Structure 1
Amino acid sequence: MDNINEENIEELSAMDRNSESSRLVAPNNTTKTSYLNLVSNICALIFLGIIMFCCFKDGVTLFSFHPTLMSLGWVIIMTSAINAITPGDLATEWMPIRLRSARHWVLQVFGGIIILVGFLIILSNKIINDKPHFTTLHGKFGLAALIFMLSTMIGGIGALYSLKLKHYLAPIYTKLIHASVGMLSLCKRAAVATQHVNTYTEFNVNATIARWTS
């Protein structure tokens, strides 16, 4: 009987550790550390550096901040937010699960704000120069990615409070929808990375460098 009770206690403890309302618990040490996220972060930093070089090489304009902020928000911060909850991530594997979750949504909010600022900058630049909006593939895909991003962030609130919403939708489905839409929005943005720099005529000769980097 004592053995059965001990097994039940251990099982309940494991369930409590994995629940949404759990306290800070130690990370899973059995997960093998992956260095791919580190490599992707290094590549992202190189990409951002070259984009900034192309934007500010010939001076500072309002437009210069649009590709810079978009690259920072999407390629650096949003990717880091996803990596924060990826098993084996070198930077966050040592963190308790609740801390990793907090890091994820804080980075998502921060990245979302930067992306919105970048969007408002290009919108203002179009208005100032009396240019049409969302006429290029880049503009259309960018707007779609922005809508997907906002939908993902709203879904993130549902995922954060999935247990409180369990009477309406099972937590596993809430998180699955959030993760699926999030990956779709990030892939949509990554899929048009070439158009992202290819349509920047202001880059002039530097556009070739940016395209190859992308």
Structure 2
Amino acid sequence: MAAHVVALLFCAYIIYIASPGTDLFSWHPTLMVLAYAVAMFEAVLVFSPHSSLIGGLSRQTKITIHWSLATLSALLAIGGLAIIFQVKENKQKFHFTSWHGLLGLITVGYSCMQLMGGASVKYYNLSSYFIKMRLADLKLTHAVSGVAAFTLVTATLMCALFSDWVSARVQGFAWYACYMAVCWVALVVMNQVTSGYASRFAPKSAPKVKR
């Protein structure tokens, strides 16, 4: 439960300082934090045996919710990317010149690819005609790719904390709290995925020989 609270507080604080609606740019941090600190984060924790908010539901229902949240995350991220692109166009500035901007572009693109990978798992009966991989291996690949996707999310959020926009609005304890929140969310996601698939990588013990 603590992970959900930390992610929610971080999201609420970013939206608070962004004040969505005050200008066009204000929607960029708002949509991006909703996309990744809420939608994608909760999509991963749907399957957590300890942190899921819907632990009592069937696995099929969890898959549907996971897919819905992942789709919502991608749509919000695309919206946030479109807004910052338009802001730069309006100000006649160059695009993706900072590490935050470049990583953000890569993260949104990778998130969309990850969504397509999830679709290939969900609709394996169709995707198996094009992807010659066992379903179990495809699920594992999707999970590992999910860790890579959230690593990109973490790097992008970290760069955002060092941006001029954040530096002008967040200082002192609040900045360090945001920094720790991003680290905590990233660790929870990585622990969830790696612990869920750790048995796949564990060395198999040799069969005992009967004497």
TM-score bucket (shorter structure)? 0.7 to 0.9
Give, in angstroms, the shift of residue 165 of structure 1: 4.1
Given candidates 168, 177, 189, the residue that maps to 2:141 is 177
Radius of gyration: which is bigger?
Answer: 1
Q: TM-score, normalised by structure 2?
A: 0.76
Contact 1:44/1:76, CA 8 A, preserved across alignment: yes
Is the 2:24–2:87 contact (alpha carbons within 8 Å) kept by the matching residues of 1?
yes
Summarize the Cα distance change of 1:192–1:202 in structure 2 as closer, same or farther, 3 Å threshold.
Answer: closer
Match of 1:208 in 2: 171
Structure 1, gaps ≥5 residues long: 1-37
Aligned length: 175
3-state SS of 1:67 partner: helix
Q: Would you say 1:133 and 2:95 are equivalent positions?
A: yes
| Structure 2 CA distance for partners of 1:205 and 1:165, relative to 1, 3 Å | closer
Residue 163 of structure 1, CA deviation = 4.3
What is the aligned partner in structure 2 of residue 5 from structure 1? none
The 3 A distance-change label for structure 1 pair 130 and 207 is farther
1:68 lines up with 2:20 in the alignment = no
Aligned partners of 2:161 and 2:167 also within 8 Å: no
- 1:50 corresponds in structure 2 to 13
Q: Map of 1:92-107 to 2, 5 A cutoff? A: 92-107=54-69
Aligned match of 1:116: 78
Q: How does 1:32-47 map to 2 (within 5 A)?
A: 38-47=1-10
Q: Distance in 2 between matches of 1:162 and 1:187?
A: 26
Label 1:159 to 1:128 Cα distance change in 2 as closer, same or farther (>3 A). Answer: same
Are the counterparts in 1 of residues 45 and 52 from structure 2 also a CA contact under 8 Å? no
Distance between the aligned counterparts of 1:89 and 1:162, measured in 2?
A: 28
- Checking the alignment, whether the CA contact within 8 Å between 2:103 and 2:155 is kept in structure 1 is no
**Aligned-pair identity (%):** 24
Q: Which residue of 1 aligns with 2:104?
A: 142
Q: Residue by residue, what CA displacement relative to the aligned partner does 1:156-190 show, whole Å, maximum 9, x if unpaired?
A: 11110224444621001111121111221112111
5+ unaligned residues in a row in structure 2: which ranges? 180-211
* Cα gap change, 1:172 to 1:204, in 2 (>3 Å): closer
Query: What is the SS of the residue equivalent to 1:192?
Result: helix
